[in-house]
Structure 1
Amino acid sequence: MLHNLLTPLSDEFIFFNLFRYLTFRSGAAVLTALVVSFVLGPAVIRWLKKKQREGQPIRDDGPESHLVTKQGTPTMGGVLILLAVAISTLLWADLRNGYVWVILFITTGFGLVGFADDYLKLTRRSHKGVSSRIRLAVEIAISLIAAVWVIHLTGAQLDTALAVPLFKDVLFDLGWFFVALMVFVVVGASNAVNLTDGLDGLAIVPVMIAAGCFALISYLVGNAVFADYLQLHFVEGTGELAVFCAALVGASLGFLWFNAPPAMVFMGDTGSLSVGSALGGIAVITKHELVLAVIGGLFVLETVSVIVQVASYKLFGKRVFRMAPLHHHFEKKGWREETIVVRFWIIAAILALIGLSTLKLR
């Protein structure tokens, strides 16, 4: 909004020329989201505690320590993330850019699905919220609308194309199968983050790392000069998504202040589904869907551990892990929660560096 309002005045007031630059607006978006989180955080947490006197329902079949350490902690903290991201993005992004509205649509839509899920869990005092079929159907519907929207916005050469990392000239035209790809990536990413969100601070830092990586990727892919130098596929307009990613970094950092062990609030499905879907959507728009699987490799590992566990038990009647997702396996082995969280953060950082290296390796 500030870009649209103040940039036209730059001829008269040279200071307003700053608002032309993505780097300036991205930095401002980080700080704005961080300040919003710090200012609104205490009030949001007080409100959630007032509405949720008993806190998030704790699964009886989960790690025994959670019945003590997590009892009474409110959930739905993702509301704080959504507020910070939305306010910061609307302030600093170019609101004439269609990609910004697509990502806001995906993020808000999945956030509302997560909010409904969290609300039903709280009112029923159960870990069961919206039925899995209804939830999946709504997630697919949101992703379908977003996919068609993205095809409409993207140039003809790339609108339904899949780029392959490490190969500068390889593009697969998927046709309308591109819609299925975007649905798979967005829904998969959202639920992968959701599965990872099981310990204090565990999911939010990898989200912040991934958002930082895609802020850089969006900026480079949306800049014709840098995209040509790095031999990336130039997607006009995607640079503006760097502002959204920067806002997500700031909101994540602010949320971590309240979610660090011992957590004052959990993000819940409201947060995990929304931020995961945003990362998935940005990866598809920037033609880095496959790179997301590397940068967000921790989320992939957590999801695969659940798939392997379920498949093994149904097929052979045996469990591969003591408990899934993977972080619970290490809890059952006796690792301290803080140890698991920090080591998973390290893994996320290493995978992010590997993913970023693909920008130069062509």
Structure 2
Amino acid sequence: MLYYLFDYFDREFDLMGAGVFQYISFRAVMAAAISLLITITFGKNLINLLQKKQVGESIRDLGLAGQMEKKGTPTMGGLIIIAAIVIPTLLFAKLENIYVILLLVTTVILGGIGFLDDYIKVFRKNKEGLAGKFKVVGQVSVGLIIGLTLFFHEDVVIREFNEPETVQTEVVSEGPNYVDKKSTVTTIPFVKDNELDYSKFNPTDSDMVTAAIYVLIVIFFVTAISNGANITDGIDGLAAGTSAIIGLALAIFAYISGNAIFSDYLNVMFIPNSGELVIFCTAFVGACVGFLWYNSYPAQVFMGDTGSLSLGGVIAVLALVLRKELLIPVLCGIFVIENLSVIMQVSYFKYTKKKYGEGRRIFKMSPLHHHYQKMDIPEAKIVTRFWIIGILLAIMTLATLKLR
């Protein structure tokens, strides 16, 4: 909104300084600053309100050190994260941008699903919360919306530049030297010819079959990563800190993918209008970092499913929009391994119970962060080490820009 206001002042009144709002870098910095201010300033007010409403976390005794001390800690703190993402984005981004719209829709819908889950746990006193099948239906619905929009919307294109034709020493250039086209191409990490077209998996010539394949891929990533973030949110500051690291890496990818000069130099797919996502990414990072003000050990508030489902879904959609979803196993390695640890633990337990009559475990407890808690490693140290691993994974992901 401020973007349009200052653009009007710049055009109509030539207001000094108003033109700075045309720069993505300036708006990104402002979005991060406002996001931080919202979480830090209003976070305490939200905590007080949640305490007054007795919106406390119910804790099951799993025999983990310091676990029962967290009983009654306010949850639903994800509300302040969502506000700190949405408000700066509305203020500083171009709201007609299809990518910005998709990210806002993802944030609000998945946040709403998480809020419903938290509401049932807290106010209905049902520890199970929203039934898993309804969560999955919500995640699949978001994936369906995102997939269909990315496949069919006319503004979702990639730009291919043509080499100028020359006749002897004279350059012949008629019209633009590029073409914007619809494509299901994505990026493969660590290989030289690093593009994969999902349409190659279509044995027919039907666009509808290609659309179905692409939408299923989108649904898979949205569901998997939102669940991964949800599972990771088990100890103080882990999900928020990890998400901030991932968000910063995606902000760099968004800036490069939306800049013709940098994308050409680094031989990265140029995606018109994707640079606007830098504003969303910095608001996202600011919200996560600001939330750590109250969520770092010992936590004064938990984000609950309201925050974790939304954060995971946003990360997945950002990666899909930037056509970097195949980097998710590396960039979101913390979420992936947390998810896998639960799958491995449950599967092995069921297998051994069927085969030997009693279930056996791979880990002392899943998800993985609880395994280390069972080893009597302090919670703050586990979180810090996971952050360090997350930073290394982000650096490795950014290295794919040159390592092929």
Q: TM-score range, shorter-chain basis?
A: over 0.9
**Residue in structure 2 matching 1:329, options 359, 368, 371:** 371
Aligned to 1:56: 57
Query: Does 2:302 align with 1:260?
Result: no
44-53 or 100-109, larger mean C-alpha shift: 44-53
Are the counterparts in 2 of residues 182 and 284 from structure 1 also a CA contact under 8 Å?
Answer: yes
Query: Does 2:340 align with 1:304?
Result: yes
Are the counterparts in 1 of residues 81 and 287 from structure 2 also a CA contact under 8 Å?
Answer: yes
TM-score norm. by structure 1 comes to: 0.96
Q: Which residue identity does 1:313 align to in structure 2? A: F
**3-state SS, counterpart of residue 162 of structure 1:** strand
195-204 or 143-152, larger mean C-alpha shift: 143-152
Aligned to 1:15: 17
209-218 or 146-155, larger mean C-alpha shift: 146-155
> Aligned runs of 1:183-262 on 2, under 5 Å?
183-262=219-298
Offset from partner CA, 1:312-339 (integer Å, 9 cap, x none):
0111221100100000001111111111
Q: Which residue identity does 1:107 align to in structure 2? A: T
Aligned to 1:34: 36
Aligned to 1:84: 84
Offset from partner CA, 1:35-89 (integer Å, 9 cap, x none):
1112211111111111225x111123x3443542211101100000001111111
95-104 or 125-134, larger mean C-alpha shift: 125-134
Q: Which residue identity does 2:6 align to in structure 1? A: L
Query: Does 2:184 align with 1:160?
Result: yes
Deviation at 1:222, TM superposition (A): 1.1
Segments of 5+ residues of structure 1 without an aligned counterpart are: none
**3-state SS, counterpart of residue 76 of structure 1:** coil
Aligned to 1:351: 393
**3-state SS, counterpart of residue 269 of structure 2:** coil
Query: Does 2:116 align with 1:149?
Result: no
Between the aligned partners of 1:239 and 1:49, the Cα distance in structure 2 is 40
Are the counterparts in 2 of residues 150 and 159 from structure 1 also a CA contact under 8 Å?
Answer: no
Q: Which residue identity does 1:74 align to in structure 2? A: P
Moved over 4 A (4+): none
Between the aligned partners of 2:193 and 2:52, the Cα distance in structure 1 is 54
Q: Which residue identity does 2:58 align to in structure 1? A: P
Q: Which residue identity does 1:163 align to in structure 2? A: T
Segments of 5+ residues of structure 2 without an aligned counterpart are: 158-179, 200-209, 353-358
Between the aligned partners of 1:225 and 1:326, the Cα distance in structure 2 is 42
TM-score norm. by structure 2 comes to: 0.86
Q: Which residue identity does 2:224 align to in structure 1? A: G
Deviation at 1:26, TM superposition (A): 0.4
Deviation at 1:9, TM superposition (A): 3.0
Query: Does 2:198 align with 1:173?
Result: yes
Are the counterparts in 1 of residues 64 and 374 from structure 2 also a CA contact under 8 Å?
Answer: no
Between the aligned partners of 1:95 and 1:297, the Cα distance in structure 2 is 31
How many corresponding residue pairs? 360
Are the counterparts in 2 of residues 57 and 126 from structure 1 also a CA contact under 8 Å?
Answer: no
Aligned to 1:6: 6
Aligned to 2:171: none
Deviation at 1:234, TM superposition (A): 1.0
Q: Which residue identity does 2:31 align to in structure 1? A: A
CA RMSD of aligned residues (A): 1.4
> Aligned runs of 1:62-81 on 2, under 5 Å?
62-81=62-81
Between the aligned partners of 1:283 and 1:318, the Cα distance in structure 2 is 37
Deviation at 1:170, TM superposition (A): 2.4
328-337 or 8-17, larger mean C-alpha shift: 8-17
Are the counterparts in 1 of residues 28 and 282 from structure 2 also a CA contact under 8 Å?
Answer: yes
Between the aligned partners of 1:359 and 1:49, the Cα distance in structure 2 is 46
Deviation at 1:154, TM superposition (A): 1.3
Between the aligned partners of 1:281 and 1:19, the Cα distance in structure 2 is 26
79-88 or 14-23, larger mean C-alpha shift: 14-23
**3-state SS, counterpart of residue 238 of structure 2:** coil
Deviation at 1:341, TM superposition (A): 0.9
**3-state SS, counterpart of residue 186 of structure 2:** strand
**3-state SS, counterpart of residue 203 of structure 1:** helix
Decide which structure has the larger Cα Rg and report it. Answer: 2
Between the aligned partners of 1:102 and 1:341, the Cα distance in structure 2 is 31
Deviation at 1:113, TM superposition (A): 0.3
Offset from partner CA, 1:12-52 (integer Å, 9 cap, x none):
12411110111110001000000111221111111111122
Offset from partner CA, 1:212-255 (integer Å, 9 cap, x none):
11111011111122111111111111111110010011111110
Are the counterparts in 2 of residues 168 and 232 from structure 1 also a CA contact under 8 Å?
Answer: no
Q: Which residue identity does 2:26 align to in structure 1? A: F
Between the aligned partners of 1:296 and 1:283, the Cα distance in structure 2 is 10
